[in-house]
Amino acid sequence: MRVVSMTLGAHLFLSVAGFAGPPLIENADLEVVSSQSSLGSQVETWTETVQGTAWLGWHVPMVDRDQVLCCQNQACSLESTHRHFVSSSARSGSPRAAEILVILLRATDGQLEEMQIYSDGCRLDAGGSNLIWLEGVQPEESVTFLDRLIEADSKIEDEALMAMALHATPTAAERLAGMARQSPDPDLRGEALFWLSHTGASTASEVILLALAEDPDAEVKDQALFALSQLPDQEGIPLLLEILRDRSRPAAVREEAFFWYVQSGDEEALDLIAEILRD
């Protein structure tokens, strides 16, 4: 195991230009470790040995998008989760920003308590905590680990779903599609549909439409319609339009489809409203 230790002061950053390495981080007692076993085993071993509060992180390729997940105009404190998607131009100094996803876990006294995710290139402030950075984690292994967290109904399930959707590997979409079809928990099925729509997978619309047709839970059907509105490049807009024009469908489904269609801002929305008022 290769370990490199370093302490980063308030104004000293680790440069990642030219090699993989950790994200831009300050106020951290940092160890860089080569990943040589399963990610799940490494996280479990690390969690059990944590005394006080510490962080562990790794990165994976991120789905292609024109925004980065970061904090606006300042370093992101790991003590806060106030992150949002901002324009890639806000992080133009780091060409990796929109290409790499940073995943961080926080454990306290042997308990895994939190996950935070960022685009690479964000300045992070660890507040003086210990942080172990795992090099060489494969995207598929990362997805498998996140899948285990979600199946365990952990307190970080929501963040794990989002992180999975942002992994640039087909495995992520496959796992989300499996949850959407097979999970006994309707809340999880609905959330999986929503995040599946953000993966850019070519099969996403098919899985979402299948849930709309076959899922027994009305709220999951509502989530499916919302997920259609979230598909990239307005792929779901014609599908919503087709659904709301289909008079054989239940009125509640058509009304929900109409709501999300209008919210999409499609230029034909006003014409459709006028048409419905004339009927």
**Mean per-residue pLDDT, 236-242:** 91
Instruction: Tell me which of 72 and 198 has the higher pLDDT.
Output: 198
Is residue 101 classed as helix, strand or coil in its secondary structure? Answer: strand
Domains of the chain, by residue range, sit at 3-137, 168-278
pLDDT surpassing 70 at residue 95: no
Confidence of residue 79 (pLDDT cuts 50, 70, 90): confident
Residue 18: per-residue pLDDT: 35
CA–CA gap between residue 95 and residue 215 (Å, rounded) = 42
Report whether 115 contacts 163 (CB < 8 A): yes
Residue 64 in contact with residue 101, Cβ under 8 Å?
no
From residue 153, give the alpha-carbon distance in Å to each of 8, 80, 103, 159, 186. 35, 23, 19, 12, 13
Give the list of residues 6+ apart from residue 184 with CB closer than 8 angstroms, or none: none
Confidence band, pLDDT 50/70/90 cuts, at residue 14: very low
pLDDT digits over 204-220, tens only? 999 999 999 999 999 99
Distance CA 204, CA 114 (A): 28
pLDDT digits (tens, 9 = 90+) for 140-173: 999 999 999 999 877 899 999 999 999 999 999 9
Note the pLDDT of residue 7: 34
Report the distance separating Cα 99 and Cα 168, nearest Å: 9
- What pTM does this model have? 0.84
Average pLDDT, integer, range 67-79: 80
Q: With respect to CATH, is domain 168-278 assigned 3.40.47.10?
A: no
